[in-house]
Chain A
């Protein structure tokens, strides 16, 4: 796996720990201006973490199957394989499962790229949270229907639907997304707020905040 792939996986595995540590720091800061600065830094980090989750998910679903090289046909084959996983949830009719399987990875790719830019986080982060919630609902319904299937998230090794997958998704994926969502709206309400925490950080370092 290349460096970028390893970085993405590291961020998906440990990003929530960095954000939780940052949240504790924010709560300990009394000075409002300092707190805003730290939150802006965390929003950039959070954007990278949540973006990495979606980028890793998209990569996991699109990467060529063993023995195949990267090519457009091999991506289509990987998406056809993902369609099998979506179908195994037995939630949607076959045609709908197929449609979801062939659009979701591109949506994850788009959302991941959007999140890492840290632009418009008041829109991208809630969207990410909703997407993750939807996925967790699907896992929950599959589990309570007694299905023993692969979660199909594409991140890391295959994980069977169940409490372990829910705990992982809740802690590593949903929590960072919610933190970024709340942070984005919180920072917007602060005096001198800017839409992009990255821009705001750049402004503050040049003394224009």
Chain B
């Protein structure tokens, strides 16, 4: 299951809190029944979505993807008001890892809405030069464009080499679990 999300998207937060978190905590992932793949798809309408994706990508490079992802979704209402993402990242990881994350974020700092407005979906222009993390985000965005992702969250479920039609919007855990059970029983 590939999921395209924006960390500033409220529906993505609901999906994470009520569906993906139970999925991750269940034995579907640990037993290898389901592979959950996250893709970044920050939307231009969300001022800090791209910045949040950078922080999570940096955290992933030091092995702290899950804790930072959870921290950002859990505190979305707070940091989306003023872009204060860094403090929530700092609170979610050990200080040694946070220092490493900060090093990776050099050159990726958000400079204000006028200068680093996230790239439009149509132009694909890099939002700022010198941020190595943007490569990974843009790769995900390019993948999403092929589907095409028109809203977040969008998810694509593949089964035995067959890609099922992409779905978008919130889906509850019991409904998704039922679908997985049915598919896995085939």
Residues on A lying within 8 angstroms of B by beta carbon are 65-68, 73-74, 76-77, 80-81, 83-85, 87-90, 94-95, 97-98, 147-150, 158, 160
Residues of B within 8 A of A80 (CB): 175, 178-179, 181-183
19 A-B pairs whose Cβ atoms sit less than 8 Å apart in the complex:
A65-B183, A66-B164, A67-B160, A67-B162, A68-B186, A73-B186, A76-B182, A77-B183, A77-B186, A81-B179, A87-B175, A88-B168, A94-B172, A97-B172, A98-B178, A147-B169, A149-B151, A150-B165, A150-B168
The reply on B185 being an interface residue by CB < 8 A is: yes
The reply on B136 being an interface residue by CB < 8 A is: no
CB distance from A140 to the nearest CB of B (A): 16
CB distance from A91 to the nearest CB of B (A): 12
Given known pairs A67-B160, A158-B165, the reply for A73 and B175 (CB within 8 Å) is no
Given known pairs A77-B186, A98-B178, A158-B165, the reply for A87 and B159 (CB within 8 Å) is no
Q: Are A148 and B151 in contact (CB under 8 A)?
A: yes
Interface size for B (C-beta < 8 A) is 25
Residue of B nearest to A86 (CB): B175
- Cβ 8 A contact of B175, one of A67, A74, A83, A160: A83
CB distance from A138 to the nearest CB of B (A): 13
Given known pairs A67-B161, A67-B162, A77-B186, the reply for A148 and B168 (CB within 8 Å) is yes
Residues of A within 8 A of B169 (CB): 88-90, 147-149
Complex A-B, nearest 3 residue pairs according to Cβ-Cβ distance, in ascending order: A148-B151, A67-B162, A88-B169
The reply on B174 being an interface residue by CB < 8 A is: yes
The reply on B167 being an interface residue by CB < 8 A is: yes
Residues of B within 8 A of A148 (CB): 150-151, 168-169
Known: A80-B175, A85-B167, A94-B172. 12 other contacts (CB 8 A): A65-B159, A67-B161, A67-B162, A73-B185, A74-B186, A80-B182, A81-B164, A87-B172, A88-B169, A97-B175, A148-B168, A160-B150
Residues on B lying within 8 angstroms of A by beta carbon are 150-151, 159-165, 167-172, 174-176, 178-179, 181-183, 185-186
CB distance from B146 to the nearest CB of A (A): 16
Q: Are A84 and B168 in contact (CB under 8 A)?
A: no
Q: Are B170 and A90 in contact (CB under 8 A)?
A: yes
Residues of B within 8 A of A98 (CB): 174-175, 178
Q: Are A65 and B168 in contact (CB under 8 A)?
A: no
Given known pairs A87-B170, A90-B169, the reply for A77 and B163 (CB within 8 Å) is no
Residues of A within 8 A of B162 (CB): 65-67
CB distance from A145 to the nearest CB of B (A): 10
Q: Are B182 and A88 in contact (CB under 8 A)?
A: no
**How many angstroms from the CA of A76 to the CA of B185 in the assembled complex?**
11
Interface centre among A80, A81, A84, A85 (most CB of B within 10 A): A84
Residues of B within 8 A of A150 (CB): 165, 167-168
